[in-house]
A and B are shown apart, each in its own frame.
Chain A
Amino acid sequence: AQSVTQLDSQVPVFEEAPVELRCNYSSSVSVYLFWYVQYPNQGLQLLLKYLSGSTLVKGINGFEAEFNKSQTSFHLRKPSVHISDTAEYFCAVISNSGGYQKVTFGTGTKLQVIP
């Protein structure tokens, strides 16, 4: 079975402070990892992805994430948040097995940036 766990449902942080949103996954096969951001009443926007290669990936809006295979984690980080980063963030994994693609999302983390 494949699963994604986002340990924090809500994360309040002051403006210009650093933030880390945690994501752990479980899968019996190799996976590709993604972070999406969702603003109120909108669809999902891709922030960054890990497909292969360097385990540190950089995305849009100053976000980055590090793939840690031994800890099965893909935590999202930003060194200094802005008010505009207030949104919900979803971690997702995609695996391919037997010609089929399986996509699993976490339950999301609401980031609230406090002025």
Chain B
Amino acid sequence: DAGVTQSPTHLIKTRGQQVTLRCSPKSGHDTVSWYQQALGQGPQFIFQYYEEEERQRGNFPDRFSGHQFPNYSSELNVNALLLGDSALYLCASSWLNEQYFGPGTRLTVT
């Protein structure tokens, strides 16, 4: 079992650009959540996808959007990047009440 995988590992973008991050969940997991972890802070919940729909959302602007595919993999899109979007973006897949995290994508906005 490969566990949760994320790509790319690192990414550097310029302010105003758009970015897409990808996540493949652990085998058998149908729910994917995305988190933003700024330097020195705990993960902040962005949104969760289940059955290809956004089931719930944290306190993030509409610039943050996502998608879940029939194979349960997911994408996180961020438009009009700001310097403050620089962070580690974590994907977690879950089954019932247990979440398993991927290694994250480190996004740097310059």
A7 within 8 A of B: no
Q: Flag B68-110 by CB within 8 Å of A: 1 or 0 each.
A: 0000000000000000000000101000011111111010000
Once the chains are docked, how many angstroms separate the CA of A41 from the CA of B44? Answer: 17
Q: From B97, B99, B102, B104, give the contact of A51 (CB < 8 A).
A: B97
Q: Which of B1-27 contact A (CB under 8 A)?
A: 4, 6
Q: Flag A69-83 by CB within 8 Å of B: 1 or 0 each.
A: 000000000000000
Contacts of B90 in A (CB 8 A): 43-44
Once the chains are docked, how many angstroms separate the CA of A51 from the CA of B56? Answer: 22
| CB nearest to A96 among chain B residues | B97
Q: Contact: A42 with B103, CB < 8 Å?
A: yes
Contacts of A103 in B (CB 8 A): 33, 45, 99
Q: How big is the A interface, by class?
A: 20 to 34
The A interface, classified by DSSP as helix, strand, loop or mixed, is: strand
Once the chains are docked, how many angstroms separate the CA of A42 from the CA of B6? Answer: 12
A27 within 8 A of B: no
Q: Contact: B106 with A105, CB < 8 Å?
A: no
Contacts of B56 in A (CB 8 A): 100-102
User: How far does the Cβ of B59 sit from chain A's closest Cβ, in whole Å?
Assistant: 12
Known: A43-B101, A94-B97, A104-B45. 12 other contacts (CB 8 A): A34-B99, A42-B103, A43-B6, A51-B98, A90-B42, A96-B97, A101-B48, A102-B56, A105-B35, A105-B43, A106-B42, A107-B41
**17 CB-based A-B contacts, threshold 8 Å:** A32-B97, A34-B99, A41-B106, A42-B104, A43-B102, A44-B90, A46-B99, A90-B43, A96-B97, A101-B48, A102-B56, A103-B33, A103-B45, A105-B35, A105-B44, A106-B42, A107-B41
